[in-house]
């Protein structure tokens, strides 16, 4: 049975762009919708994002699709590549929407908080990405403790001002465990900094696996496939050993879990 | 008082990332002070890791959409492991696409699309592409010979350059009764096969290895009537080199 995927490719290569588009969207509409719904839950948002995705893919004679079809030897499945493209277009749509909706930066924000607002609420960066960008750009080095405090204050001020806080994946505001002593703050900051140092000492594959499994909460099967390990069991074992190493080294440095 | 033996550290690591769906396991942890403390420590450690400063991102090496898709498909390259481990942006993109691909609806659509294109690699490669692929396989072989022989360096063939993939015979998107016998065609140069069964969420339900081309899922594996599972076969075709089939569904008949 002739593949309908090949039919749209044949039309595209034959210069019949409209026919190629019709066949492509007929074949992949459901996948596109499914991928969008992973990021957007409101039905109106889903339809708007779908329209944005279609417009972007159709633009310039299906130029974006040609990036895959014209590649000499595509290295990934077309459907996986399409999910990656839809992900990026969905992120772009949310960023533009939230940029338009933003009334104004709450006046009470400090310069650092304004930069956090831009990264997290407008650009849609994760807290971790925001912290990395600030560390690279700030003239004065910013500690993780300073960042955590500023991030918490930014959330509080933004919500108090009633500003729209678009969040692609519904990230929650950082935990606010209540007032702590300066000594505890300092200990926690040092401990988190030390974790970063310890993570950097792990094998890159182990470090990536731990981050994907623990921080990004991917399944062990997904982590195994991404890192290139043969099974989920290996993920459990390597992550377990890596975490045990972190715990042991932290304790050796005099840092207990309660200090985090 | 412990209700059952304490789970392994690996199991606790898994639970630190997501709650236990196993009631007996959850009950044990609730009643075991040692496990409760260990789990709490792992969760605190995991939360602290999300705030830990990482290596500076190498923005010139950041991954494009094709690279992200290739990695999600299982084709990461050694240099990309180090970059992804240190770049929150790229890791976030990889995690996003992988998580989206693991949802039931997306996985079902991917399978529907890809299963109708069993020879997509040959269609795209063409005659000229095969020569390019042969060159790249040679390059990868040269790289592999200089790598450390370790578990870390086991990496997947990029999908487009994979040798012959295992062809699944049965069950193929069918309703089957227990015990479920999995069958596939032998793969040239394969010395071992690794079979994995997933549930709809992408969690591994069962896996095993054999030198044969058939395996029966043991009766002790809890397969639920009316539920669809997914399975795939990976053939070991060389030292630290595996060729993987696509995942195919089957449903347990009532």
Structure tokens at B113: 């699309």
Reported as a pLDDT band with limits 50, 70 and 90, residue B148 is: very low
Chain A: give the shortest CA distance to residue B216, in Å: 19
B89-142 pLDDT, tens digit per residue, is: 898 899 999 999 988 999 999 888 887 764 444 333 333 334 333 433 333 333
Give the Å distances, CA to CA, from A146 to A140, A168, A188, A197: 11, 25, 11, 18
Question: What's residue A160's pLDDT?
Answer: 66
Residue numbers in A near B160 (CB within 8 A): 73-76
Question: What's residue A259's pLDDT?
Answer: 61
CB-based contact A254:B85 (threshold 8 Å): no
Cα angle for residues A95, A98, A102 (degrees, 5° grid): 140
> What is the percent of chain B where pLDDT is above 90?
11
Q: Which residue of A has its CA nearest to B40?
A: A257
> Where would I find the beta strands (DSSP E) of A28-113?
none
Residues of chain A with pLDDT under 70: 1-5, 98-107, 122-124, 126, 138-141, 159-193, 255-260
Cα angle for residues A75, B68, A31 (degrees, 5° grid): 85
Q: Cβ–Cβ of B152/A206 closer than 8 Å?
A: yes
What's the half-sphere exposure (Cβ side, CA atoms, 13 Å) at A146?
12
Please tell me the pTM assigned to this model: 0.60
Facing residue for A144 by CB, picked from B51, B76, B103: B51
User: Does the predicted interface ipTM exceed a cut of 0.85?
Assistant: no
Reported as a pLDDT band with limits 50, 70 and 90, residue B39 is: confident
Question: What's residue B150's pLDDT?
Answer: 33
Instruction: Go through A143-157 and write b for each residue having 16 or more CB atoms within 10 A of its CB, e for each that does not.
Output: bbbbbbebbebbbeb
Question: What's residue A89's pLDDT?
Answer: 94
- pLDDT beyond 90 at B153: no
A156-181 pLDDT, tens digit per residue, is: 777 666 544 433 333 444 444 444 55
Q: Cβ–Cβ of A3/B12 closer than 8 Å?
A: no
B167-226 pLDDT, tens digit per residue, is: 898 898 888 888 899 999 888 778 788 898 888 766 778 888 888 888 999 888 889 888
Question: What's residue A251's pLDDT?
Answer: 79
- pLDDT beyond 50 at B157: no
Chain B: give the shortest CA distance to residue A260, in Å: 6
* B47 or B237, higher pLDDT: B237
| Average pLDDT of the segment spanning B74-81 | 88
Chain A: give the shortest CA distance to residue B87, in Å: 8
CA distance B124 to A223: 28
Question: What's residue B20's pLDDT?
Answer: 61
| Average pLDDT of the segment spanning B60-80 | 88
CB-based contact A75:B70 (threshold 8 Å): yes
Q: How many other CB atoms are there within 10 angstroms of residue A225's CB atom? A: 28
A31: nearest Cα among B97, B221, B220, B179: B97
Interface of B with A in 187-246 (CB under 8 A): 194, 196, 198, 201-204, 207, 234, 242
A194-234 pLDDT, tens digit per residue, is: 777 788 788 889 999 998 988 788 888 899 999 988 888 88
Question: What's residue A154's pLDDT?
Answer: 83
- B209: which strand partners? B194
Identify the helix (H) or strand (E) that includes residue B122: helix B120-146
Question: What's residue A168's pLDDT?
Answer: 36
Chain B: give the shortest CA distance to residue A102, in Å: 24
Reported as a pLDDT band with limits 50, 70 and 90, residue B9 is: low
Interface of B with A in 85-144 (CB under 8 A): 85-86, 88-89, 91-103, 105-106, 108-110, 113-114, 116-117, 120, 123-125, 128-129, 132-133, 136
């Amino acid at each position: 049975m002739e593949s309908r995927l090949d039919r749209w490719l044949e039309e595209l290569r034959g210069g019949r762009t409209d026919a190629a588009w019709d066949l492509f969207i007929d074949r992949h509409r459901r996948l596109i919708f499914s991928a969008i719904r992973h990021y957007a839950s409101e039905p109106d948002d889903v339809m708007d994002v779908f329209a944005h995705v279609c417009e972007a893919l159709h633009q310039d004679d299906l130029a974006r699709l040609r990036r895959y079809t014209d590649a000499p030897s595509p290295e990934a499945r077309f459907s996986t590549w399409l999910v990656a493209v839809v992900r990026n277009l969905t992120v772009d749509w949310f960023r533009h929407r939230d940029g338009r909706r933003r009334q104004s930066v709450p006046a009470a924000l400090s310069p650092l908080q304004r930069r956090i607002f831009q990264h997290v609420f407008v650009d849609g960066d994760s807290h971790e990405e925001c912290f990395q960008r600030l560390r690279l750009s700030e003239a004065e080095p910013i500690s993780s403790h300073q960042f955590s405090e500023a991030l918490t204050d930014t959330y509080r001020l933004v919500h108090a001002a009633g500003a729209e806080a678009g969040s692609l994946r519904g990230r929650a505001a950082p935990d606010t465990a209540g007032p702590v002593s300066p000594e505890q703050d300092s200990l926690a900051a040092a401990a988190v900094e030390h974790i970063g140092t310890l993570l950097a000492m792990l094998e890159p594959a182990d470090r990536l696996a731990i981050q994907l499994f623990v921080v990004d909460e991917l399944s062990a099967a997904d982590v195994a496939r991404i890192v290139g390990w043969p099974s989920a069991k290996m993920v459990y074992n390597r992550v377990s050993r890596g975490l045990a190493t972190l715990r042991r080294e932290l304790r050796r440095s005099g840092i207990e879990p309660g200090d985090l | 008082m412990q209700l059952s033996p304490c789970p392994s550290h690996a199991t606790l690591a898994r639970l630190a990332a997501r709650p236990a769906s196993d009631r007996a396991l959850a009950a044990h942890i609730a009643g075991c002070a040692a496990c409760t403390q260990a789990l709490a420590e792992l969760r605190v450690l995991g939360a602290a890791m999300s705030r830990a400063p990482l290596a500076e991102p190498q923005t010139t090496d950041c991954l494009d959409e094709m690279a992200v898709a290739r990695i999600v498909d299982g084709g990461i390259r050694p240099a990309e492991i180090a970059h992804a481990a240190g770049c929150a942006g790229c890791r976030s993109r990889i995690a996003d696409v992988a998580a989206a691909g693991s949802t039931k609806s997306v996985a079902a659509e991917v399978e529907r699309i890809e299963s109708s294109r069993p020879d997509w690699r040959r269609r795209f490669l063409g005659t000229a592409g095969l020569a390019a692929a042969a060159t790249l396989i040679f390059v990868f072989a040269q790289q592999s010979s200089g790598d450390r022989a370790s578990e870390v360096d086991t990496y997947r063939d990029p999908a487009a350059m994979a040798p012959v993939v295992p062809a699944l015979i049965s069950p193929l998107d069918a309703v089957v009764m227990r015990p479920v016998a999995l069958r596939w065609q032998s793969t040239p140069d394969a010395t071992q096969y690794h079979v994995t069964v997933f549930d709809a969420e992408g969690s591994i339900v069962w896996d095993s290895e054999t030198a044969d081309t058939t395996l029966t899922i043991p009766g002790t594996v809890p397969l639920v009537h009316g539920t669809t599972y997914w399975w795939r076969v990976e053939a070991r075709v060389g030292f630290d080199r595996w060729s993987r089939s696509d995942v195919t569904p089957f449903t347990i008949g009532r």
